[in-house]
Amino acid sequence: MKSLLFRSRTLVFDDMGEGIPLLFIHPPGMGRVTFKKQHVLAKHFRLILPDLSGHGDSISEERFISVDTYVEEMKEIIDYLELSTCVLIGYSAGGVIAQKFASLYQNRVSTLILIGGYSEVTDPRLKVMHLMGMKMVRRHPDRLAAIISKVHTTNKADREELLHHMKKTNPEIWYHYYKQSLYYRGVEEVEKLSIPILLVYGEKSDWINNQLKCYNNCFPKKVYMIPGATHQIPTRYHDALNNILLGEIRN
């Protein structure tokens, strides 16, 4: 575990392995533990797994942190590690930060990978899920953390680890991360990118797969649809995801 000071806040991140750097960005509330099942990739790549401010061990007592600030946090980490470029990987709403980063700092991203990503919320069910998350995190953040940790894991040990990490999250920051993701409009920005884009979805998550149409005019891009998978790809369908990454990212 490493840390650095950014705007009077301490950013905590894991840095493991060697080779092409892969920077993973987590969704609201979850933190870097989301990508525990990707640790095995450190045998092949350099993995950089941050806790965004207000999440996990990157403690913040502020009430609001913008997506733009999260973008600058990722740039600060890349600069701190003296990386010229990285493979940028965003999971779910983490893809909002990844896309915004790529639109501002395209020269620092070799490939943009979105796992269950979206550049605009168009499916009504996805909108409802954001609104439900916002409501629950304001009223019952621990209950929401328990629900998310349960649907993302297959055993008690992983569930308890993720739940413990999520309970560290600042609920106000969590709420606004949801809200900013809900109202993000980045279709035009991502269409202007000339870097390779890799899109990964689970076959059984039509409420998020419908967002794939947001990327119709993006090139070059490649799409993977994991058979039988739900949205929780990094944690529950990690073998398929890890194999995709191994096959697509070349040292």
At 143, the amino acid letter reads: R
The answer, yes or no, to whether residue 240 has pLDDT greater than 70, is yes
pLDDT digits (tens, 9 = 90+) for 110-132: 999 999 999 999 999 999 999 99
pLDDT digits (tens, 9 = 90+) for 142-176: 999 999 999 999 999 999 999 999 999 999 999 99
The answer, yes or no, to whether residue 251 has pLDDT greater than 60, is no
As its CATH architecture, domain 2-248 has 3-Layer(aba) Sandwich (3.40)
What lies within 8 Å, CB to CB, of 193 at 6+ separation is 102, 103, 106, 112, 218
Residue 72 token pair? 């600058």
Cα angle 96, 99, 105; round to 5: 135
Backbone φ, ψ for residue 15 (5° rounding) = -140, 110
Band (pLDDT 50/70/90 cuts) for residue 250 is confident
pLDDT digits (tens, 9 = 90+) for 13-47: 999 999 999 999 999 999 999 999 999 999 999 99
Q: Assess contact for 234 and 29: CB atoms under 8 A.
A: no
Q: Minimum mean pLDDT among 61-70, 204-213, 229-238: which range? A: 204-213
pLDDT at 110: 97
Cα separation, 55 vs 178, whole angstroms: 13
Strand pairing category for 2-6 and 221-226: unpaired
What lies within 8 Å, CB to CB, of 139 at 6+ separation is none
pLDDT digits (tens, 9 = 90+) for 213-225: 999 999 999 999 9
